[in-house]
Amino acid sequence: MSERQRKEKLKDNIEKLSDCEHEQVFKIIQKHTDKFTCSDSGVLVSADTLPIDCVTEIEKYIDFCIAQKHRLDADEAQRTALYLSVHTSE
């Protein structure tokens, strides 16, 4: 995967994150560069100005977010199944 494709995939994945997770991504960006613009609609960052180590850190964060969501979804499913097994056996 080319660096450009990698950054496009990163952009697509960032769009799927929650507002709180967006804030964390912005904190990562701020650690690596001051080349961004704040506007009423959010923060604008040129993918061309992001150092590769910043991209890598954001990718790791997104992987963490996805893993946590899967864990939470699995936990919720277990809780629901347990609740149903307790309350439907009466």
**Strands (DSSP E) found in the chain:** 36-39, 42-45
DSSP state of 50: S
Q: What is the pTM of this model?
A: 0.81
**pLDDT score of 3:** 85
Q: What is the pLDDT of residues 59-75, one digit of tens each?
A: 999 999 999 999 999 99
**pLDDT score of 28:** 96
Q: Stretch 33-55: mean pLDDT, rounded? A: 89
Q: Letter for the amino acid at 66? A: I
**Strands (DSSP E) found in 16-86:** 36-39, 42-45
**pLDDT score of 90:** 58
Which residues does 1 contact at the CB level (< 8 Å), separation at least 6? Answer: 9
Q: Stretch 23-35: mean pLDDT, rounded? A: 94
